[in-house]
Chains A and B, each alone.
Chain A
Amino acid sequence: MIRFLSVVFMLIMTLGLAAQAQDANIQDVLQEHREAIEKSSRKTIAPAIDAIAASGLPSAQTVLQKWQSKDMWQRKSDGQFFYAEKVDSKTYTIFAFEGGTPLGDIAKADLDQLKPNSGIRAMIGAALVQFQLNDPDPVRRQEAILAIQRDGEASHLAPLRASIASEADPDIKALKEVTERLLTISYDTDDAARVTAIQGFNGALSLEARAALNPVLSTKITLKDSLPETANIKRKIIAGSDALSVSDAFDMLVASGVTQAQPTVSERKDALAANIVDGKVGGVAVADLNTQDARDRAYQTLAEAGTVPAWDAGFSEADAVKSAAFVEVYDESSKAVTDAAEATLKTIDRAVGLNQTLDLALDGLSLASIYFLAAIGLAITFGVMGVINMAHGEFIMMGAYTGYVVQQIIPDYTLSIIVAIPAAFMVTFAAGVAMERLIIRWLYNRPLETLLASFGVAIALQQIAKNIFGTQARPLTSPAWLDGALVFNDVLAISYIRIAIFVLAGIFLAVFLFIMKKTRLGLETRAVTQNPRMAASMGINPDRVNMLTFGLGSGIAGIAGVAIGLYAKVTSEMGADYIVQSFMTVVVGGVGNIWGTLLGALGIGFLQKGIEWLNPSNTLAAQTYMIVFIIIFIQFRPKGIIALKGRAAGD
């Protein structure tokens, strides 16, 4: 009932306003600010937006919305503004803002589109808030709240508070309430209200909450004496500590006129150069001025004569700043507010720290699953069969390109992925079998040569891929349901595609274990690997087993390729990016044991993320140190984390 009444009230209000402003015209307002609108710069546009928003005209909202969505056009001949709809690439239909009456078709060449940049669009959004907060369309209302969260203003506070009571949608209502508290923290004049609002965010993880709280706590470091008695001081600062370096402190002293700066090295040098008399400065020959010591002596002589500013060689900035008192002072004047904010932020920081650690762990886990996925095929061919296949990376690449080709044929992304996975398996399985039959089987006794021959295959495959698909990266687009991220809160989130890779890695682990432990092929593979001749005499065909095992390892690499292509990119060189890491994963984990490979992947993934966390500005360094660490690790545990024991270890 109340809601109905308020809507009726709003309606009457609007109609009343409209009637009142009947004689004014939105076009006039626009024309008045024509220059600013044409210039379209955030620095000069504010009066134009304000004028439109404050005009009280019914079409003001339309103008702002059309302008914001780049639908406002200007007729070149007379500079009039319209909104336009496309008829075809050359012609547009223009409409008047009032009433939306079509004014006929017009050639595009006679029109100029107004393209507000995103800064201006945000300002328009902020101006639209007053119209949209009570808009019947919930999407509009949400947009308005988003605009407040992005560019909140003190003037939003009153309309927002007024709109909460009448809000029907519980979700939007909650959103409005949170936003109201955020605005209260930043703009309310009543300290008590602010403190209450601040305390409401205890332990909150949202970025907006921190974004509202942190500015309250902004501080600056200054000389204590320069402050009034009432200043809201945070703490004392000792010059020379982490917070304030000696030279900064000294500069502050100089700026406040407490002390005098000493001439710097280059100033002294310039002074010397300016005082050369007959090839000498202060009694020292110019040619001898090539040491700092000689220059200092010359300068002292000049200083004593009074020709240059005095300079105290024994002067120490550290001593000069010792006697001065420095403090860190809040920009916010109310101590109650800053105390509350500090306390709240402390609880938030604890929660954020915990979630950041979890997020880092998730990143590490995700990276580990990618490494595991890339390495699991290798765990079969290298780990079980002992065959070094340098073309493993190229099988990954083949799988990814298969996915790309399938996507060209089947435009539906979900269906194409479902088709691409078995297709990639089949393509690389076939390639693996072919490679085993043609090359590898002749070289079982020459592992080093397997390495080289398979490398030959790798460079050939890479170049063939380049010749077919070009060197440019190809898109492999994930289906819509894998877009976006699983968001726990503003700190902890992981994209669905990474979750999918994690799941896939788990499935592969299970499949691998099942095949090796529960099927005949697995039994035969293990038998052939341990003792081929004994296995052969038991009626196992080692050729067939080797072929199938190698094919299986290659096929899994193909599926891994599809997954990696979805999350990163498809290029002819993507295989080479993973090959060394994959071998490292298998070797670190311990050859011949899938659990070892899993541990290896986890170790490398977490290690890399850990190093990145310690050194966030240089990811390349993280990779370098990781490899060095692995090399050292292998020196001390050459058989990997899980070493095979007894006969299975072989030599």
Chain B
Amino acid sequence: MKNSFFMKNPSLLVFLGLLALFTLGVTLMSEAYGSGLVSTSFVKTLGKTLCLALVAIAMDLVWGYTGILSLGHFAFFGVGGYMIGMWLMYARTEIIVVNSMASAPIPPTASELSDAIGSQIFGVVGSSDFPAIWMFADSLVLQLFMVVLVPGLVALVFGWLAFRSRVTGVYLSILTQAMTLALSLYLFQNDSGLRGNNGLSGLQNLPGADNIPQSVISIWFLWGSALALALTYIATSFVVSGKFGSVIRGIRDDEARVRFLGYSVEGYKLFVFVLTAIMAAIGGALYYPQAGIINPAEIAPIASIYLAVWVAIGGRGRIYGAVIGAVVVSLVSTWFTGGQAPNINLGFYVVKWVDWWQVLLGLSFVLVTLFAPKGIGGLVDLFTGRLAPSRKGAPLGPDAGSLREEEAEK
């Protein structure tokens, strides 16, 4: 069985091998454990990129395999970050407050302690009473549950309502986008109890780990992110390779037929939607401690659309495609916007990539959609010899998904 699982997913072993090599390589070149060739800030960038690859896999599963173009998965990513951020902030502040209160003549009561933590976290813009949402923030274990539970529940409720009333296609996309917008607007409010526009900050400082330098912590997180990515990759491969995978691909290609075959389409969709939301949240919970700050701007609808862009450019419907897309686009984007790309002097006009990168990204996105729907991952097909009809969207068969005879023969 195991053998056949790997046989079905030849990319899995290659991917795991490359990931292990990469992680080891970076560790050996890091400031903490090796030659110091890779700066700590770049280790963090790489660790974050792995998390982005993780959420891209989730997006690929929900869009590339199941055909639900969700424009809300980055919101789940952000919610995951918020959940872990709450514990990081609370625990760090608690240590500070306990230390500063230790010198008081009378030991503090539990409620005085929590008031002091509250006024440290919210400053003068909130009350010192913790909002209900911070109920479990004092416990790492409970808050880790929340990382999975909160996005999972949001996805469950939203997905159940949406799939039950048969909202599909672009309507669903717009609806998920509206959900993302509502969530980010909600978090922008100071009254929502999550520090409004400022969000949660100082997340890179792990509570109780003040003496461990960031160069070491960054490597821990790199390994953590790599491990999570590997597990996600395996889990996704597993999900899409069996009968379940066949059903969700069937739903993608023709939902009505799958329904007529007696499958509970809504159940499958809901499962995938919730599963990917949880994956995204785990990615976020690993990402934001490396980034150091989570705020509502991270959840803005545009971020989720970029997620779709990565997956589309990398290649939908193949897991390694999502990884390639996320890694390439986010790193190239960093390179261009970081001012490292050389300017092009056209004589009458100097193209500054800081200004023109977005234009290039937008246009390349249009081009990929039009001419290379399989994305960068499609290049692999050139080697494996898998070819698909190129019709640029023109209807040629009895319905959009089917092959013509001459195409099938190729």
Report if A631-B185 is in contact (Cβ < 8 Å); known contacts: A460-B358, A580-B301. Answer: no
Q: List the B residue with the shortest CB-CB distance to A636.
A: B165
Docked complex Cα distance between A292 and B109 (Å) = 7
Q: List the A residue with the shortest CB-CB distance to B312.
A: A452
Q: Which single member of B178, B302, B365, B370 contacts A630 (CB below 8 Å)?
A: B178
Chain A, 466-497, CB within 8 A of any chain B CB: 466-467
Q: Is B393 an interface residue (CB 8 A)?
A: yes
Binds B, one of A122-130, A185-193, A355-363, A618-626: A618-626
How many chain A residues sit at the interface, stated as a range, is 35 or more
Q: Is A464 an interface residue (CB 8 A)?
A: yes
B154-178 toward A: CB 8 Å interface, digit per residue (1/0)? 0000100110111101110111011
Q: Are B178 and A464 in contact (CB under 8 A)?
A: no
Report if A462-B105 is in contact (Cβ < 8 Å); known contacts: A442-B370, A618-B189. Answer: no
Docked complex Cα distance between A269 and B112 (Å) = 12
Q: Is A388 an interface residue (CB 8 A)?
A: yes
Q: Which single member of B108, B188, B395 contacts A620 (CB below 8 Å)?
A: B188
Q: Which single member of A291, A459, A461, A580 contacts B178 (CB below 8 Å)?
A: A580
Q: Which single member of A287, A464, A620, A632 contacts B107 (CB below 8 Å)?
A: A287
Q: Which single member of B110, B181, B365 contacts A456 (CB below 8 Å)?
A: B365
Q: Is A295 an interface residue (CB 8 A)?
A: yes
Q: Are B109 and A464 in contact (CB under 8 A)?
A: no
Determine the chain A residues whose CB is within 8 A of the CB of B345 once the complex forms.
Answer: none
Q: Is B305 an interface residue (CB 8 A)?
A: yes
Q: Are B106 and A286 in contact (CB under 8 A)?
A: yes
Q: List the A residue with the shortest CB-CB distance to B160.
A: A635
Q: Is A273 an interface residue (CB 8 A)?
A: yes
Q: Which single member of A388, A439, A457, A627 contacts B181 (CB below 8 Å)?
A: A627
Chain A, 630-647, CB within 8 A of any chain B CB: 630-632, 634-636, 638
Docked complex Cα distance between A291 and B369 (Å) = 65
Q: Is A373 an interface residue (CB 8 A)?
A: no
Report if A445-B395 is in contact (Cβ < 8 Å); known contacts: A290-B108, A624-B189. Answer: yes
Most buried by B among A295, A455, A458, A467: A455
Report if A638-B358 is in contact (Cβ < 8 Å); known contacts: A291-B109, A445-B395, A451-B69. Answer: no
Q: Is A443 an interface residue (CB 8 A)?
A: yes
Q: Is B291 an interface residue (CB 8 A)?
A: no
Q: Is B363 an interface residue (CB 8 A)?
A: yes
Q: Is A499 an interface residue (CB 8 A)?
A: no
Q: Are A624 and B312 in contact (CB under 8 A)?
A: no
Q: Are B362 and A463 in contact (CB under 8 A)?
A: yes
Determine the chain A residues whose CB is within 8 A of the CB of B169 once the complex forms.
Answer: 447-448
Q: Is A521 an interface residue (CB 8 A)?
A: no
Determine the chain B residues whose CB is within 8 A of the CB of A449 once the complex forms.
Answer: 369, 373, 393
Determine the chain A residues whose CB is within 8 A of the CB of B189 once the complex forms.
Answer: 618, 620-621, 624
Report if A446-B393 is in contact (Cβ < 8 Å); known contacts: A286-B107, A463-B359, A631-B175. Answer: yes
Docked complex Cα distance between A447 and B185 (Å) = 28
Q: Is A244 an interface residue (CB 8 A)?
A: no
Q: Is B380 an interface residue (CB 8 A)?
A: no
Helix, strand, loop or mixed for chain B's interface? helix
Q: Are B185 and A620 in contact (CB under 8 A)?
A: yes
Q: Is A583 an interface residue (CB 8 A)?
A: yes
Determine the chain A residues whose CB is within 8 A of the CB of B305 once the complex forms.
Answer: 452, 455
Q: Are B105 and A286 in contact (CB under 8 A)?
A: yes
Determine the chain A residues whose CB is within 8 A of the CB of B369 once the complex forms.
Answer: 443, 449, 452-453, 456
B297-311 toward A: CB 8 Å interface, digit per residue (1/0)? 000011001001100
Docked complex Cα distance between A295 and B188 (Å) = 41
The distance from the CB of A236 to the nearest CB of chain B, in whole angstroms, is: 33
Determine the chain A residues whose CB is within 8 A of the CB of B358 once the complex forms.
Answer: 459-460, 462-463
Q: Are A273 and B370 in contact (CB under 8 A)?
A: no
Q: Are A587 and B395 in contact (CB under 8 A)?
A: no
Q: Is A276 an interface residue (CB 8 A)?
A: yes
Determine the chain B residues whose CB is within 8 A of the CB of A53 once the complex forms.
Answer: none
Q: Which single member of B109, B302, B370 contacts A295 (CB below 8 Å)?
A: B109
Determine the chain B residues whose CB is within 8 A of the CB of A620 once the complex forms.
Answer: 185, 188-189
Helix, strand, loop or mixed for chain A's interface? helix
Q: Which single member of B67, B161, B186, B362 contacts A635 (CB below 8 Å)?
A: B161
Report if A453-B365 is in contact (Cβ < 8 Å); known contacts: A587-B174, A631-B178. Answer: yes
Q: Are B106 and A269 in contact (CB under 8 A)?
A: yes
Chain A, 287-334, CB within 8 A of any chain B CB: 287, 289-292, 295
Docked complex Cα distance between A121 and B182 (Å) = 48
Q: Are A444 and B356 in contact (CB under 8 A)?
A: no
Determine the chain A residues whose CB is within 8 A of the CB of B164 once the complex forms.
Answer: 635
Chain B, 354-410, CB within 8 A of any chain A CB: 355-356, 358-359, 361-366, 369-370, 373, 392-395, 400
A419-445 toward B: CB 8 Å interface, digit per residue (1/0)? 000000000000000000001001111
Q: Is B3 an interface residue (CB 8 A)?
A: no
Report if A443-B370 is in contact (Cβ < 8 Å); known contacts: A291-B109, A456-B363, A634-B167. Answer: yes
The distance from the CB of A465 to the nearest CB of chain B, in whole angstroms, is: 10
Determine the chain B residues whose CB is within 8 A of the CB of A460 once the complex forms.
Answer: 358-359, 361-363, 366
Q: Are A467 and B355 in contact (CB under 8 A)?
A: yes
Q: Are B165 and A580 in contact (CB under 8 A)?
A: no
Q: Is A253 an interface residue (CB 8 A)?
A: no
Q: Is B179 an interface residue (CB 8 A)?
A: yes
The distance from the CB of A444 to the nearest CB of chain B, in whole angstroms, is: 6
Q: Are B361 and A459 in contact (CB under 8 A)?
A: yes
Report if A452-B309 is in contact (Cβ < 8 Å); known contacts: A286-B106, A289-B106. Answer: yes
Determine the chain B residues whose CB is within 8 A of the CB of A443 once the complex forms.
Answer: 369-370, 393
Docked complex Cα distance between A99 and B233 (Å) = 93
Top 3 A-B pairs ranked by shortest CB distance?
A460-B362, A456-B365, A463-B358
User: Known pairs A286-B107, A443-B370. 18 more at Cβ < 8 A?
Assistant: A273-B106, A286-B106, A289-B107, A444-B393, A445-B400, A449-B373, A452-B309, A460-B359, A463-B355, A583-B174, A620-B188, A624-B189, A627-B178, A627-B185, A631-B175, A631-B182, A634-B165, A635-B162
Binding site for B on A (CB under 8 A): 269, 272-273, 276, 281, 286-287, 289-292, 295, 388, 439, 442-449, 451-453, 455-464, 466-467, 576, 580, 583-584, 587, 618, 620-621, 623-624, 627-628, 630-632, 634-636, 638
Q: List 12 A-B contacts (CB under 8 A).
A: A273-B104, A273-B105, A439-B370, A443-B393, A449-B373, A452-B365, A456-B363, A456-B369, A459-B359, A463-B359, A618-B189, A634-B167
